[in-house]
Structures are given as structure tokens and as C-alpha cells.
Structure 1
Amino acid sequence: MWTVGHSTHPLEDFVALVRAHGVHHIADVRKMPRSRRHPQFNVDTLPAELGSAGIGYTHFAGLGGLRREQPDSVNRAWKNPSFRAYADYMQTAMFEAELDRLIALGAREPVAVMCAEAVWWRCHRALVADALVARGEPVLHIHTPQRAEPHVLREFARVENGRVTYPGEPELF
């Protein structure tokens, strides 16, 4: 499984980027799969454009970001409230079901988890990658056509029964 940010890429460059890593399917984890600045990545055109390039597309709304932090959060190691909120959401049945669906897709064909942010560690893709690694799924973060970085579970992450939490006091990000 890979992760990739569509960033500001023209669509042709994005297709070349994921093809260079053997990706056959894009799993869009944007909660709202639209972009005013980069309309080539809007859900009303992207699936057809990718399809014409031989790349599949599935929107995983249940893996999208922009979640609400829970007042009794067990994920206090995240200083960044957005990441803490997403980590809280990762404890839900909805997240687990969508992650299962993503893993099943990845078992059938090479998949890249896509969001907008170019840098994986500034995006909730980092937490999705933690959840995948906790389930035994290797993850590579695509940087360039020649370079993909293996994901390593964050040192403050705790895994129990395939589920990730980030306990502790706020210290990071």
C-alpha cells in the first residue's frame, strides 16, 4: 500500500507519479473530494480521468479527515488538535469498517491512499498509515517517481489488537 498527496500536480504528472510505483487504484481519503485550486482532482472528473489512464478510483469518505476531538480522548500525545481528533475517530467502528474495506482493496490490486497534502506527515494519511502498519500492512509514502519512504509506526503509538492509540501528555506536533 502506498500514500500520495495530489498537491499541485497537473493530472498527467500525478498519473505518471503513481504509475512509476506500480499503483493501479487510488483510494481517495479526502472527506470532501473537491479542490477549488486544483479542479483536476474533483470527484466529478477524477474517476473518469484516472479510468482513462487505467487507474481505478474509490472514495473512502469514512477515512476522511476533519474529525472532532473527543473530550475523553486517549490520544493525548498528539498536541495538534486535528491529529488528536482523527486519532479519536480511529477508535470507532466506522473507521475500522472503512480500514477493512481499504485493506481488502489493497489485497486485490496495488493501491495508493490519496489526500491533498504533499507531505504525508502533515496529513491524516500518517495516521491511516499507522493503522495499516498496526494491521501488518506495509506502507510506502510516495515522494517522487524514484522515491518512496517506508512508513514506520510513530514511537509514541501503542498497538493493541491491531488498533492504534497515542496515549500520554501532549508533546508532539
Structure 2
Amino acid sequence: MYTIGHSTRSASELIDVLRAASVTRVVDIRSIPRSRTNPQFGIEVLPETLAGAGLDYVHLPALGGLRTNVEIAEEGTNAGWVRRSFRNYADYARTPSFRDGLHALLHMASGQTCAIMCAEAVWWRCHRRIVTDHVLAHGMAVVHLFTRTKSAPALLTPFAVVDAQAGVSYPVPERGLPVCR
């Protein structure tokens, strides 16, 4: 599986990067699949553009970011995240809605080469990083795409804890603090 942020690219640049990685399906994990500044990535246009390039498109709102009204997980479960937006999303990732979305993503990825897509250019500033941790916890490899020739294999967030029953959590690290959290 791959991850990509559309950022300010043109649609053809995005397609070139996806094709270079042999991606066949784009799974849009934006809560709001629109962009005023980059209308080529709006849900009204993007599916048809991708289809014209031979790529499938699926919007999977269950994995969308921007989670503010989230039931807080047990105290300390995700307290390793300093940024409230990441902590909110990590708490959301413990809900049945997220699990259903994740299982749908894993099912799609078992039959096609998928790339999860959001707007943010870099994965470490995006909820894709938490989705990626959950995919990695299920034993599937993930690669972050940057350009046609630049990518990076995904690694579990350094302070993430994977438990077979409870899933992924992000407690406060016992030693040292990660650079970006």
C-alpha cells in the first residue's frame, strides 16, 4: 500500500507519481473531498480524471481526518501526542467506525495496489501517519510517495504501541520524546 498527499500538484503530476508506483486505486481519506485552491482534486472532478488514466477512485470518509468531537480514549492511551489534532484522531481510531473503514481499506488493498490520499504533502503532518500505523499493525507494508522517483518505506511511529487486542495506542514515551508529535 502507498500513501500520497495531493498538495498543490497538477492532476497529471499526481497521476504520474501513482503510475510510477503501479497504483491502481486511489482511496481518498479526506473528510471533505474538496479543495478551493486545488479544484482538480475535488470529488466532482477527480474520480473522472483518475478513471481517464485507468485508476479507480474510492472516497472512504470513515478514515477521514479533522476529528474534533471524539469520545476520549481511556486517559493516557494516546497522551503521547502533543498535538490535539493527532490525539483526537488517535482516539477516533479506537472506534468501530474507524475499524470498519480500516477493514474496508485492507480488503481493497488485498486485491489492488492502493494509495491512500489526503491533501497534506508530507505524511508526518497528516492523519495518514496514524492510518499507516494501523495498516502496519495488520502486517501490510506501506510506502510514502513523494515524487516519481522519491519514496520512503513507512515505519511505525516511534512511540506507538501495538496490542493484538486493543490495536495501536500512543502513550507518553518512557524515555525521550520524539521530534514530531
Name the TM-score class by shorter chain. over 0.9
Runs of 4+ in structure 1 deviating by more than 3 angstroms, as ranges, are none
For the residue of structure 2 that corresponds to 1:144, the secondary structure is coil
User: 5 Å matches for 1:104-143?
Assistant: 104-143=107-146
C-alpha change, 1:105 and 1:117, in structure 2 (3 Å) is same
Give the AA of the match of 1:164: V
User: 5 Å matches for 1:12-27?
Assistant: 12-27=12-27
Structure 1 residue 71: Cα displacement: 7.0
For the residue of structure 2 that corresponds to 1:149, the secondary structure is strand
Counterpart in the other structure of 1:168 = 172
Structure 1 residue 147: Cα displacement: 1.8
For the residue of structure 2 that corresponds to 1:86, the secondary structure is helix
Counterpart in the other structure of 2:105 = 102
Counterpart in the other structure of 2:31 = 31
Counterpart in the other structure of 1:56 = 56
Give the AA of the match of 1:94: S
Q: Is the 8 A contact 2:73 2:94 kept in 1?
A: no
For the residue of structure 1 that corresponds to 2:146, the secondary structure is strand
Structure 1 residue 144: Cα displacement: 1.1
Counterpart in the other structure of 2:95 = 92
Mapped to 1, the partners of 2:90 and 2:109 lie a distance apart of 22
Q: Deviations 1:22-72 (Å, cap 9, x if unpaired)?
A: 101100000000000000000011101100110000001000001135274
Identity value in percent: 41
Alignment partner of 1:146 is 2:161: no
Kindly report the root-mean-square deviation, in angstroms, between the aligned alpha carbons of the 2 structures. 1.5
TM-score calculated relative to the size of structure 1: 0.95
Structure 1 residue 148: Cα displacement: 1.4
Counterpart in the other structure of 2:2 = 2
Mapped to 2, the partners of 1:89 and 1:37 lie a distance apart of 28
Mapped to 2, the partners of 1:10 and 1:144 lie a distance apart of 12
For the residue of structure 1 that corresponds to 2:8, the secondary structure is coil
Query: Among 156, 159, 163, which residue is 2:162 paired with?
Result: 159
For the residue of structure 2 that corresponds to 1:167, the secondary structure is coil
Unaligned runs of 5+ in 1: none
Structure 1 residue 161: Cα displacement: 1.1
